[in-house]
Structure 1
Amino acid sequence: MKLFSPAKLNLFFRVLNKRADGFHEIASLMQAITLGDTLHFKESHQDHLTCSDPTIPVNEKNFIHKARALFRKETGFKTPIAIHAEKKIPAEGGFGGGSGNIATTLWALNQISGMDIGEETLRTWAAEISSDAPFFFSTGTAYATGRGEKVFSLPPLEKKDLFLAKPEGGLSTPLVYQHCAPNVNDIDPKILLGNAIAGKIEGVNDLEYAAFALRPDLWELKEGLINLGFETVVMTGSGTGFYCIGPIENPSLPGIHFWKTSYLSRGDQWYAFS
């Protein structure tokens, strides 16, 4: 079985408050995109995990490994499965590559095992590993609340001219949250959501303040992207990647990687893109 495992964007990201359990209460509009990994699954004589990127560990810390182990624990499924990950999503960019791999692995093992477990249950399991992972069981466009695990699917958004931009290196998500002050602005996320549904994406990410303090070059990058002529430039997640909206052809900045992409949706099967 071969499945596409898409990246995601946070089209807006509000950090509302810090909860008693240590997590932050957030509100975000999340969107799957056509940049993604490809995961290969097959029955084997033993569990095995390989990856096209030699810098990514394939031990028990890998999200795919964790998802397979969790599925076994919850279901008792014992058939050995070999998994190979063709990685295209840049790491430490805020694009949710690992979280998408969790959801894709759970969906695949559910199909292979024939257990017909409902996606709401798979979503709950996914949240045990990553707050972003439940999103991928949505339609591909969703409003997320709680710590990100409460996901409400939405109809597809109006298509945009879209590029991703990322510098070298990343940021630790926990470190960004440690430096994040809740409610750094008073914009109602429901207003942001309504505007986005109406076709107007407003570039709000409360984590930018912390990320830019930790890496001032990210602020310089945002200014550089705006100067290229993009209409909207917003960091996604905890960075260090940005999404850029606007009719720009072949953008280029020294030391910056660019990807042209577009929004992606799914029906009752898994995501597909070729």
Structure 2
Amino acid sequence: MHFETAPAKINLTLDTLFKRRDGFHEVNMVMTTVDLNDQLSFSKRKDKKIIIDTEHQYVPTDRRNLAYQAASLMMETYGIQTGVNITIDKRIPIAAGLAGGSADAAAAFRGMNALYDLGIETAELAELSSKLGSDIPFCVYGGTAIASGRGEKIEHLPKPPNAWVILAKPKINVSTKTIYQALKPGKNPPGSREMAAAVKEGDYKEIIALMKNDLQEVTCRRYPEVGRLIDSMSASGADCAMMSGSGPTVFGFVQKERQAAHLYNAMKGCCSEVYKVRLLG
């Protein structure tokens, strides 16, 4: 039996530069992890089946599941001859802009590597994982990084300054594909390199000032409740309030625990799914 923790990610920046010939968007993003985690366990089977077990009713247990796809790709790539049981204790909200599915897939790459004692370097796992999704390479590494290309090129950054993060997810699910289809890339000046510099300097105020997400305008136009949630979080004392990924989850930063408790309670008044977590980075 082997266990893996799969932390959620948030975007400090998300720059969309242009649409590529392969249909993907060229992006620059600074991402970091937060202390909201799925827990996965892995055990060997005597047959060649991949069995996903989860109590979450909206998480698929067949080939649609990214952790299943990751395990299958590991078996195919490295000649693993026996199957695996994967149990997922799902705590990260789904379709939320927090890379919950990608985090589970990343955990499956690491978990299969450890369970079968393959000794594969993390960089090789991350490169392999890019075949399944653009956020997965970052999730394989974790920590804090600037991601470029379609998200698969990773440059590691130091941990940002300590902060509390309040996450609030409205009762809607957002399709990343739909948001990108409605996007006009290159509309806003990029800011990820400046953000990376601020993270390296450990400058909390500059990090707050530089937060941006090119997808936020598109999502808020289609789902006005996301914009209202951002406004509510700002009015309730967040140092910065922004949407993560393609949404709909909104997050706010504060530095003191009593501020975090106040912001958490304020957001619980207008949103049922709220989390108070720390930056992991």
Task: Bin the TM-score by the shorter chain.
Answer: over 0.9
Of 150, 153, 166 in structure 2, the residue corresponding to residue 163 of structure 1 is 166
Tell me the SS of whatever aligns to 2:260.
Answer: coil
- Tell me the SS of whatever aligns to 1:244: strand
Give the C-alpha shift of residue 139 in structure 1. Answer: 5.0
- After the TM superposition, which residues 66-145 of structure 1 pair with which residues of structure 2 at under 5 Å, given as runs? 66-145=69-148
Matches of 1:225 and 1:253, distance apart in 2: 11
How much does 1:114 deviate? 1.5
What amino acid is aligned across from residue 194 of structure 1 in structure 2? A
1:45 is aligned to 2:61:
no
Aligned with 2:246 (options 215, 238, 251): 238
Q: CA deviation at 1:94?
A: 0.5
Q: How far is the alpha carbon of 1:196 from its aligned partner?
A: 3.5
Q: How many residues align?
A: 265
Identity among equivalent positions (%) equals 28
Matched, 1:147 2:150: yes
Amino acid at match of 2:269: L
Given the alignment of the two structures, is residue 56 of structure 1 paired with residue 59 of structure 2, yes or no?
yes
Superposition deviation, residue 189 in structure 1: 2.4
Matched with 1:221 is 229
Secondary structure at the aligned position of 2:86 is classed as strand
Match of 2:277 in 1: 261
The C-alpha deviation readout for 1:49-82, integer Å capped at 9, x for no partner, is 1112022110111001100110011011012211
Superposition TM-score, scaled by structure 2 size: 0.90
The structural deviation recorded for 1:44 is 2.4
Moved over 3 A (4+): none
CA contact under 8 A between 1:18 and 1:182: conserved in structure 2? Answer: yes
SS of 1:221's equivalent in the other structure is helix
TM-superposed deviation, 1:96: 0.5
CA RMSD in angstroms comes to 1.4
Gaps of 5+ in 2: none
Question: Residue 67 of structure 1 contacts residue 126 of structure 1 at CA under 8 Å; is this kept in 2?
Answer: yes
- Partners of 1:137 and 1:239 lie apart in 2 by 21
Residues 109/225 of structure 1: CA separation in 2 closer, same or farther (3 Å cut): same
Deviation at 1:103, TM superposition (A): 1.0
Alpha-carbon deviation of 1:203? Answer: 2.5
Please state which structure has a larger fraction of its residues in helix.
2
Residue in 2 aligned with 1:272? none
1:229 and 1:248 in contact (8 A); partners too:
no
Please tell me whether the aligned partners of residues 103 and 134 of structure 1 are also in contact (alpha carbons under 8 angstroms): yes
Q: Structure 2 CA distance, aligned partners of 1:239 and 1:181?
A: 17
Q: Which secondary structure state, in structure 2, belongs to the residue aligned with residue 11 of structure 1?
A: strand
